[in-house]
Amino acid sequence: MNMMGLPRSVGEIYGLLYFSEKPLPMDAVASRLGISIGSASQGLKNLRTLKAVRSMYVAGDRRDHYLAESEFRRLFSNFMKDEIMPHLESAKERIRRMEELIDSSNIEAQNAKFYQIRIEKLKRLTKASSRLLPAMAGLLKL
């Protein structure tokens, strides 16, 4: 979770649900972890957005009950699609703009050459990432 840029508490919520056979209502999560229901609500919202948990109906109980997505392969591929890929695309866009800037401004030939080489490396990196990262999800045969 830390790697995914989420607070510790969100990791704790996921961990609790991952090791719970029954779906848990929010108040149980909050009291078990000793956090406020406000935090629990926000944390669960984050996890729902990532599709790392889903809420389900439990007969005879008004409360939402939460269940962890336990297929890491699916977690990973969702995260890739929703978080990493958009970043990569915006990186590509920024690199493109940088390139234009260098072409249009009158930088000395030697410096321009250097910048172009560095930009080329960045382009190769983003390209390789776009290729490799989605492939990884496929390789994760868990």
Partner DNA sequence: CATATGTTTCAAGTAAAAATGAAATTAAGC
Partner DNA sequence: GCTTAATTTCATTTTTACTTGAAACATATG
- Select 44 or 68, whichever has its Cβ closest to DNA: 44
| Count of residues interacting with a second copy (CB under 8 A) | 22
**CA gap 43, 139 in Å, rounded:** 29
- Select 37 or 136, whichever has its Cβ closest to DNA: 37
The DSSP-derived string for 54-101 is EEE--TT--S-EEEE---HHHHHHHHIIIIIHHHHHHHHHHHHHHHHH
**CA gap 14, 43 in Å, rounded:** 9
Which x/- pattern, by CB under 8 A, does the window 40-69 give for a second copy? ------------------------------
Residues of this chain that interact with a second copy (CB under 8 A) are 2-3, 5, 18-19, 21, 70, 72, 111, 114-115, 118, 121, 124-125, 128, 132, 136, 139-142
